[in-house]
Structure 1
Amino acid sequence: MKILIKEVATSRWQVRLDQHAVTFRSEAEALAFTKTLEARLHAPHQFPDRQQRAAG
């Protein structure tokens, strides 16, 4: 996923996630969002085994 942060207007910052955009009131908010997003993307993920998925 490509993540881009840019200033789009005075006191308006945008984080672009491929084709999706989220606007923030400050660069700090945009950076905090990006940091959280990247941490979640890079976090280890466990998938349920086949028996749990079939039973659910």
Structure 2
Amino acid sequence: MHILVRPSANTKSQRWQVCLDQMAVDFRSEKEARLYVSTLEARLRAPHLLPPQSPR
């Protein structure tokens, strides 16, 4: 997943965007955007347990 933090393309707003591949999420500030990215990356790095497979 490619993650990019950038100012919003809307020149009238002071918003920031986090772009996740082809999806963009708007935030009120750069700080909020970077906090979101930090939380997302921590969750992606966290260990994930897979459910046990049922016998066939």
**Structure 2 residues without counterparts, runs of 5 or longer:** none
Cα-Cα RMSD:
1.3
Identity, in percent, stands at 54
Length-normalised TM-score, structure 1:
0.84
The list of structure 1 runs, each at least 4 consecutive aligned residues, that deviate by more than 6 angstroms after superposition, is none
**Structure 1 residues without counterparts, runs of 5 or longer:** none
Length-normalised TM-score, structure 2:
0.84
Q: How many residues align?
A: 52
Q: Greater share of helix residues, 1 or 2? A: 1
Q: Greater share of strand residues, 1 or 2? A: 1
